[in-house]
Amino acid sequence: MKTNETLYLKSLNLQNFATFENQEIQFDSKFNAIVGETGSGKSLILDALQIIFGARADKKLIRKNAEFATIEAVFSSDDLNIKSYFNEIGHPFNGNEVVVKRVIFANESSKSYLNYLSCSASLLTAFSKRFVDLVGQFENQKLLSEDYQLVLLDSYASLNSDIRDFQNIFGQLTQMRKDFDELMAEKSIRAQREDYIRFQIEELEKLSPTLDDEAELLRKKDLILNSEKRQQTLGSLAGTISDDDINLLSLLKNCLTKAEKNSGIVSDEITTKLYDVKSILEDVSYDLSKELGATCDEDNIDDIIDRIDFYQRLKRKFGGSTEDMIRTLQEFRSELNSFSQVDEKISLISKKINDLELRCHTFAEELHKIRVEKSEELSRDLTSKVQELKMNGASLEIKVYKADNLGPKGFSRVDFIAETNPGEGFFKVKDIASGGELSRILLSIRQLLSSNDTISVFLFDEIDTGIGGETALCIGRSLQLVSDHSQVLAITHLPQIANFATQIINVSKTTKVIDEQPRTVSVVLQVGGEQKNEILKAMNPIV
C-alpha cells in the first residue's frame, strides 16, 4: 500500500438489504475479487458501497417485511493527513477506523452517519471522490470527456496541488471581475441618480435656505403689507405725544412750569419725576419720528413674495419644513461625494484584475508547459500498458493545445487520440474505441496513477466484459499491480482474473425458512491462498 493518504475498506455489514439478511464481509487490503453466478447478489455489494459513498438510497432495496435496512462500512487508516481531513470536515475519528453508516427506512427519509455523527449524503460523496474510484460502464463514458482527460493528465503529472493553487488565484480573479461588473452596473445606475441629485442640489443651492433668512423674509413681507396701517398708528402716537395742537409734551411742559413757579408747594421729588417723564416722552417721540421716517421698499415686495413662495414649494418637495430642506441638501451633497468613491473602487479593482490576470496567465503557461511535456511521457506509457492488455498494435497519444479563454484549470485543452489498427490513422478515442477497449485504457491509466494519487480504493465493475483468454490474464495481472499501491475490489466472471486476487469473495444464494416461509438469502464466503482453487475450478472446471 502506498504511504501517502492511505485508507482501505476493512468491512461491510449488510442488514435487511435486498437478499442479504445479516451479512458481514471482510476485505483484504490488496486485491479482492468478487465472484458468483449471475443474480447471486455480487452486484448488490457494489450497490451497497455506492450508497455508502452518497448515492440515493432506494427503498426497494429494503428486504421484504423489514422496516429498515442498514449498511455499515468500516475503513482503516493510520494516516495523519486523513485524520486531519476528517477533523476539518467536523467528523473526527479515534483509533484507526472510519465508520460510515446509512439507514434506509421504509416509511421515512434515510439517514447518514459518518464516524457516528449525522451527516449529509453530499458529504459522503465528497469523501468518496477523494479516496474511492469506481471503474465501470459510466466511468468508461467519463473517459470520453475532455475535462476528465485533463484531470487524468494532471494526476499523472502530479499537478493536483498546483491546480488547487491556480484555482485559488483564478477564483480571486473571477470574484474581482464579478465585483468590477457590479460596480460598473452600479455606476451606470448611479449616473442617472447623479444627474438627478445634481439638479436637486442646484435648485436647493439657488435658494440657500436658512432659518434666519426665512424669518427675515416673513418679517419684511409683514412690514410691507402692513405699511399703511403702520403709518397711521405711528402717526397717531406721534401726534398724541408731540405733534398735535394739544399733545402730551406740551401739557407736560405746562405742568413743569407750574411746578417750578410753585416750588414751595411742589416738592423737588415731584418736579424731578416730571422731568423724567418729559425725557421719556421726548425719546419716544424721537423713535416714532425715526420709524415714520423709515420708508418701506414696496418695489421689492414681489421679489420677497417670490422667494417665500420658493421656500414653500421646496418645503413641500423635500419634507415639509426648512429643517428638512437643509438636511436633504446635506444628504445630497454626501451622496454625490460617495459617487467619486465608486470611481476610486473601480480603479483599484481594475488594477487588481490586471495583476491577477498576469499571475493567472503566467501560472497557466507554466502548467501548460508541464502538461505538454508529461503528455508525451503519458502517451508512451499508456501505449505500452494497453499493448500489454492485448490491444496489439494500438497507439495512444495525448494532444495538449491552448484554448482561447482562460478557465479554472488554465487554458490547456486535451484530446485523447488513438490508432487501434496500425496504419489506419489516429482518431479521437470516443470515435473509435469499443467498451472493452475503453475499460482497458482506463485500467491502464489507473495502473499508472495508483501510486501517486489520493485514491486509495479502486472498484472495478465487470471490467472483463467481452474479453477472455490471454487478455483476461493480462487484466488480472494489471489489477494486481494496481493493488500494490491501492486496494482493489473487482467484480468478475473470469477465473483468469480472480486467480490474481489476494482474496476471493464468493457470493451465492441459498433458501432459508423464516416464519415457515422459504426466503432467498445471499451469503458470502471469503477465501484466500490455496483455498481459492476450489472456487476457481467452480468458475471454470478447465482451470
What are the tens digits of pLDDT across the range 234-277?
Answer: 778 878 888 777 788 888 888 888 888 888 888 888 888 888 88
Q: Look up the CATH number of domain 1-136+436-543.
A: 3.40.50.300
Task: Give the residue range(s) of CATH 3.40.50.300 domains in the chain.
Answer: 1-136+436-543
CB 438 within 8 A of CB 429: yes
- Report the C-alpha gap between 9 and 1 in whole angstroms: 13
**How many of the other CB atoms lie within 10 Å of CB of 514?**
12
Q: What is the tens place of the pLDDT at every residue in 99-120?
A: 999 999 988 899 999 999 999 9
Q: What is the tens place of the pLDDT at every residue in 401-455?
A: 998 889 999 999 988 888 877 767 777 776 666 666 666 777 777 777 765 555 6
Per-residue burial over 524-538, b if 16 or more Cβ lie within 10 Å, else e, is: beebeeeebeebbee
| List of the chain residues with pLDDT < 50 | 1-3, 137-138, 542-543
% helix, strand, coil for the chain, step of 5: 55, 20, 25
Cell of 11: 468491512
According to DSSP, the residues that pair with 105 across neighbouring strands are: 68
Backbone angles phi, psi at 194, to 5 degrees: -65, -45
Q: What is the tens place of the pLDDT at every residue in 470-482?
A: 778 888 888 888 8
- Report the C-alpha gap between 175 and 353 in whole angstroms: 10
